[in-house]
Structures are given as structure tokens and as C-alpha cells.
Amino acid sequence: MKRLFLVLISFIFVSPVFASVVINEFNPNASPEWVELYNASDSAEYLKSYYLDDDISFTEDSGSGTKKLLTELITMSATYPYIDISSFLNNGGDYVVIFDSLGSLIDQYQYTHDPGDGITIGRSPDNTGSFSTLAFSTKGSQNSQPPTVTPTRTPTPSQVPSPTKTPTSTTVAGTSTPTHTKTTTPTKASTPTSTPADIEVTGIVLGDTIPPAQDPTGESKQSASPLRPLAVASALVGLGLALMAGVLVWQKRNAILKQ
């Protein structure tokens, strides 16, 4: 019963300040360097009696700098107070430690590598999250998220062109003669031109040339001139007259001989 009473008393009278502040963000490679705290209390003025150190011993300064009283803590934001410092934290790795006014260790974090010029290390989310490098600095305000890693796309393999076939060779009596397929390029057939006419009969030029026509076999045929039948008929008439004249002459001669 007595033990239970002591436990209850401890919950009632233990000051909550030990759980109300944590290291929230810091920048070890900047000018100036700075450390931001997360404060859950309504006011941050009480934190000006706390200490910032770069080692975990309050009585011994084993780090590179002497512990610093937070009298210059900037408390424009009671939730995200911060302090600017110079040449206090090592770029390549160090401790960031907060002690209260009595020398009790409140919070600590050890980083082991240089995050880069102007790159901050902080909690995500604020107050309760784990430490990691942040996407961008949020000095005196809510922390950003860690940078998002964009997966690298695997390039799509390009199509490999099909190899060009080498012409096959036909061997005849020990001689290798490459066989090639010759592609014949069709030529344009020339359009026959007409020769100017020399003789004109009743308005028709006898010397006009009619363009040759193509037969199904691809050979050209000379189209008959419309004057050819007339010429043939004239020739036949002339021949007939000549024969008739000859017959008359022959008959007349025979008659004379018979007398």
C-alpha cells in the first residue's frame, strides 16, 4: 500500500519539462550553424537556462566546443525555438546534446557523416519521428519530409536490326560467282511525235502520222490512215480503165488484121 502511494505521488509531482523539449533539426555544415528544438510547452523562455553541448558529459567538455548556455535562443516561435552557433559542430560527425539547468541530459543525437553544405538533419515527423536528412531546411518551422527517391526507369532495349543477307555464291569449276538479283527500273515509253504533213487534199493532210496503237502483246501497230481505202479504190478504177482500153485496142487490131 505504501509503495502504491509513492508511485502515485511521483506521477503527480514529477515536472513534465523533461519530456516537453527535444532536438528537432540542426545544420552542422552552414554559416552559421544552428540547432532547432521542438517545445511542447506554451512558452520557450524557460529553455534559455538550458545548455547545448557536443558531448554527453555535462561536467567534462570532451567535445570540440565548450557547452553553450541557450540565453541567445530565438523564441519567436515557442514551438520551434532555435539558436545560431559558429564552429561548434564538426561537419563529418558529432553529438548534439541538450542539458537542463541542473545538468541532466534531456536529449541527444549523434550523426556520423557530413550531410552536405546547407543540408539539415531532423525528425520526420516533428518531435517523435526518427532523424534523417530532410528535403529542405525548415529553420524555426515545421520540418519537411525526407527527400523522395524517384526510381530510375530501365531503358527499353532498342530493336536490333536484322542482319543483311550476303549474296549467295554459285561455284562452277572452282570459281565462285556471286548471284545477284537485278531489279529492272521501268522506263517511260516515249510518246511518238507526228511529222508535219507535206500534202493537203480537201483539207486533209495526207502526210499526217497517226500515233501507233498498242496491241495486247505490247507491240505497237500502225493505225490505218482513213485515206488509204480511197487511194486503193482510185488505183483499182485506174487499173480497170487501163484494162478496158487495152481490150478495145486489142479488138480493134484484130479487126484490122482480119480485113
SS3 of 96-156? EEEECCCCCEEEEEEECCCCCCCCCEEEECCCCCEEEECCCCCCCCCCCCCCCCCCCCCCC
What pLDDT is recorded for position 83? 97
pLDDT at 126 over 50: yes
Return the pLDDT at 160.
Answer: 56
Tens digits of residue pLDDT in 151-200? 556 566 556 555 655 555 544 444 444 455 555 555 554 444 444 444 34
Of 133, 156, 187, which closes a domain?
133
If asked whether residues 127 and 21 sit together in one domain, one would say yes
Query: Per-residue pLDDT for 54 more than 70?
Result: yes
Identify whether 240 is part of a domain.
Answer: yes
* 24 and 129, same domain (yes or no): yes
Q: When comparing pLDDT for 62 and 92, which is higher?
A: 92
Examine residue 90 and state whether it is found in any structural domain, yes or no: yes
**Confidence band for 19, pLDDT divided at 50, 70 and 90:** low
Per the structure, the complete domain to which residue 99 belongs is given by 15-133
Unique residue bearing C-alpha cell 487495152: 246
pLDDT digits 0-9 by tens, 193-244: 444 444 343 444 444 444 555 555 555 445 445 567 777 788 888 888 888 8
Given 118, 133, 148, the domain boundary residue is 133
Residue 122 is assigned to a structural domain of this protein: yes
Q: Would you state the cell numbers that stand for residue 241, as one nine-digit string?
A: 480503165
Residue 122 maps to which CATH number? 2.60.40.10
Whether residue 176 is contained in a domain is answered as: no
164 is a domain residue: no
Is residue 63 included in any domain, yes or no?
A: yes
**pTM of the predicted structure, to 2 decimals:** 0.52
Quick check: is 173 in a domain?
A: no
* Band of residue 18 on the pLDDT scale cut at 50, 70, 90: very low
Residue 139 counted as domain residue: no
Number of independent structural domains in the chain: 2
Pair type for strands 204-205 and 200-201: antiparallel
- The answer to whether residues 234 and 128 belong to one domain is no
Mean pLDDT, the chain, as a whole number?
76
| 72 vs 198, residue with greater confidence | 72
Which of 81, 110, 133 represents a domain boundary (last residue)? 133
